[in-house]
Amino acid sequence: MTPRPACRSKPDDRPSITRMSTSLMNLAAPRVSLCGASAVLLDAEGPLSLPTQERIWSLSERVRDLSGVLDTHPGMNSLLVLLDPLAVDADAFAAELLKRWADTRPGRVRGRTIEMGVVYGGERGIDMPDFAAFHGLSPKEVAELHAAPEYVVFAPGTGPGFGFLFGLDPRLFTPRRQVPVMRPVGSNISIGGGQAGLGTPQRPGVPAATAPTGWHVIGHVPDAPVPFDLNREPPFLLALGDRIRFRIESVVA
């Protein structure tokens, strides 16, 4: 079988299959994108919501064991399915995925509830002054709004212990930076768009690293558990469906 290009436009006779998009949009209808011959991406319709995300988790479980499926990766309002191109045709699977999405119901996932103390502001929350000023709030008011909700881990992030969190108060929604800046990455509390983030916890004894980000870092969790520990069950700090509650330890000017 000759591999297809990495990402391609749909044939005209397949109106439900489109070119892959990397942006998170509020779609009127679900959309499936072909990522070459070895992956299919489903973008769910509508805005981010817990019922929609629970449908994505349910669909992931339904298709994970199908013939030709290598793995599934739930994302924010999306599901990426990795395929064996020698065992399944991506076009046919894309159509099947849309059919299965239509009759998939939300599957309640109630994970653990984890509480973490947060130090807001200071050197590890370097963006807090500008962030608060942008919203016409004091740093204390930002901390109170951020710590009030119970967040749900919607999708894994870029490393163990990092998660994309749903539940942010709309009053704290903030556009991402157009130009990324360097920020410390250990156990950051950050906000980007309508999402809240918990950065990968820093390993004990390992110097803090920095990385480029478009998110706004407003604090950190000084005592976050290690991100991955084989002696812990489960070994990963965060799992899909876990609930996170943040507790204000202090607000540093």
Check pLDDT > 90 for residue 163: no
At residue 203, the pLDDT reads 64
Summarised one tens digit per residue, pLDDT across range 166-214 is: 999 999 999 999 999 998 877 889 999 998 988 776 666 666 678 899 9
Output the CATH code of domain 31-103: 3.30.1360.40
At residue 111, the pLDDT reads 84
Task: Give the chain's mean pLDDT.
Answer: 85
Residue range(s) of every CATH 2.40.100.10 domain in the chain: 113-251
Give mean pLDDT, residues 88-109: 92
Lowest mean pLDDT among 42-56, 71-85, 127-141, 199-213: 199-213
At residue 16, the pLDDT reads 34
At residue 11, the pLDDT reads 40
CATH architecture of 113-251: Beta Barrel (2.40)
Residue 66 corresponds to which tokens in the numbers above? Answer: 């199908």
Out of 81-85, 109-113, 229-233, the most confident range is: 81-85
Summarised one tens digit per residue, pLDDT across range 108-156 is: 777 889 999 999 999 999 999 999 999 999 999 999 999 999 999 998 8
Residues 224 and 161: beta-carbon distance below 8 Å: yes
CA dihedral (209, 72, 240, 248) positive or negative: positive
Residue range(s) of every CATH 3.30.1360.40 domain in the chain: 31-103
Lowest mean pLDDT among 16-20, 42-46, 124-128: 16-20
pTM equals 0.81
HEC string of the chain?
CCCCCCCCCCCCCCCCEECCCCCCCCECCCEEEECCCCEEEEECCECCCHHHHHHHHHHHHHHHCCCCEEEEEEECCEEEEEECCCCCCHHHHHHHHHHHHHCCCCCCCCCCEEEEEEEEECHHHCCHHHHHHHHCCCHHHHHHHHHCCEEEEEEECCCCCCEEEECCCHHHCECCCCCCEEEECCCEEEEEECEEEECCCCCCCCCCCEEEECCEEEEECCCCCCCECCCCCCCECCCCCCEEEEEEEEEEC
At residue 160, the pLDDT reads 66
Check pLDDT > 50 for residue 84: yes
Check pLDDT > 70 for residue 82: yes
From the list 238, 220, 250, 230, the residue with the least C-alpha distance to 113 is 238
